[in-house]
Structure 1
Amino acid sequence: MDIAHRLRAALSPYWESSALVIFTEDCTGRPQKKAGAEAIISRVSIAELDAIRTTLAAEGNSGAARSGAAWSGEAVFGGESRPLLAVSSPSNALLVLSDPQPIHAPVAGPDPHWILHYLWTLAAERIREKVADAPPSYLIESRAASAERLRVTAELVDQHSTTLETLLAALRSPALADAAARTAATDAAAKALVGLRTVSDRTTDLVEEPVASAFQRLREDLRPLMSFSGIDVQFIEPPVNGRALPGEVAHAARAIVRGLVLAMVDQQGVRRIRTQWDCDGANLLVNVRDDGPGELSAASPAVARLVQRVEALNGSMGVDVMPGWGADVAVTLPLDPPARPAADVAGWNLGERELEVLQLLAAGQRNRGIAAKLHISENTVKFHLRNLYRKLGASSRTEAMALAHSNGLR
């Protein structure tokens, strides 16, 4: 989704900035959406954005921070301290502009700050809608991206934790004479270790959501319907200590329940709808039941679309219709992605370096990133890519990535 580039273009008559970054936890696969100077946006981290959000929230009460509050000042962004302007949204998404400068029209015109808030509110709401109505393909991609990020983070935590713990053990050794240096180094290493684990926990938070809070967000989504339709929507709470839900499962489950409730409301004579979530450790179990005439059809377009969403996550949906008594819908959503098939690329006859380039390409790396990881030049990367396109029969970078994914490379 190129919403960051579109928003930056729309703001350009009113604001100058070196970079624009959107940070939204609704998109588990792509929590950052960026536009602007590559040297900045390529280095922006989740930890930096989290710190900016904390600063923004601290400037006012939590209610203001969730409804369009703004903060400007100096903060680390892209690895360096820069002037920033940060704006929140009702959906808790965050917008950050680096090196911001408002452009005032020579004659009376709209205030740049008003324009910024107006366009950002529209963009944030559009992101929320896109996620709520995401097609099955987005859910599959989001799950894969979430799982990969969690795996990489876990590997980094293991690697650096071992290094830092070894360093601590050495520096605490009584064999070292310089006690002051040892104390200072110990404090620095301990701080780094805590920081690393904090980043790991934060990344996990982005891709998982406690089942109780996910269900509470569903209640908030359906609150307007409960208030104005006259229908009694009942909620059976999930176990508080149930397994946390992957972000894309939580989003999909809420969207599926909302869709089922709306489909049930369209029937005549529905007075009560009951929705229940439970978790058996491996699956999220969703049940939605109404007391209507029992006319809900699994073949209707509205329900068929929901079945596609369920199947995109390797789940299942059963619709039990009882004429005169209502409909009972049971949904099972696995919490873990299916086992990834082994890569099958032997038929492409790739060289060792070509396979390394293809793996990094499939992981979403750009040419510069591939060159840095393999310690080769960007021109060499382009040379390997041309050979890859020829051997794969691909006409573009996107097609090569799709072929790699379909053959088990991530």
Structure 2
Amino acid sequence: MTEPQTTAEEAGPSAERRTRAQLANQARALSEQADRYAVTLESLLSVLRSSRMNDRGARETATQIAATALVRLRTSTDEHQDPLEPVVGAFSRLKEDVQPLVRFGELDVEFVEPPANGRALPGDVAHAARAIVRNVLLVLVNAGEARRSRVHWDCDGLNLLINIRDDGRGETQPHDDVLRPVSEHVTALDGQMTVASTPGWGTEMSISIPLDPVSAPAPLGGLPELSEREREVLNELARGARNAEIARTLGVTEHTVKFHISKLLKKAGARNRAELISLMH
């Protein structure tokens, strides 16, 4: 008996969804590679600037860091995420990721281990949590104000709880551009982020990420109705404009632009701007 043939009309939407999912995965992979490159390059700079090492030791250490990064790149470990990661194992991978940066940089980082009996993390949550902490530590290193930082993971059974404290000037605000990649990542995961700064005492950042799977990015054509302003912001993003430029073009504040971008990310289920733009195309 001949099986019924699938018509082009029936196959079209399914093929389009697969294509958009592939684009979203590519955007995530590119974002992850950029994170790793940034950590590796900052680690190399920390080694070469270190006053605790002689020239020979610095060259040998820098070579080792670069070789390790190349091996990781070739094996692409995070491109094949495990469905579940024990929370302790996921935290250990985070420490391994930033170990050169912490060891040779000027920022002293204390890692507080999560409870060993905590709920296992979905692979995408563990992956995102490591990227978020790496980004925050890079912000602290680049600012050069903090000397100490404390990274703590915990789990309440429903959410992964990330707490990061530093002893910087205490002037960081939730809507600062340096935190944009972090806030967008958290928003796309349906998470919550609070930033509490005390001048002269430092900053505490608290992040909560749901452990239930986040829905895959939706085709932009299937999103809830976008407002005229959201479409304007989306078009500006597509041409590569930054927040300040979008604000000038549309005659609004940067805070308003960030608000609309957060709404677009949440509607699309995208984790960052690159993923959102890839879904547009």
TM-score (norm 1): 0.34
The structure with the largest strand share of the pair is 1
TM-score (norm 2): 0.49
User: Is the radius of gyration larger for structure 1 or structure 2?
Assistant: 1
The structure with the largest helix share of the pair is 2
Which fold has the larger relative contact order, with Cα–Cα distance below 8 Å and residues 6 or more apart in sequence? 2
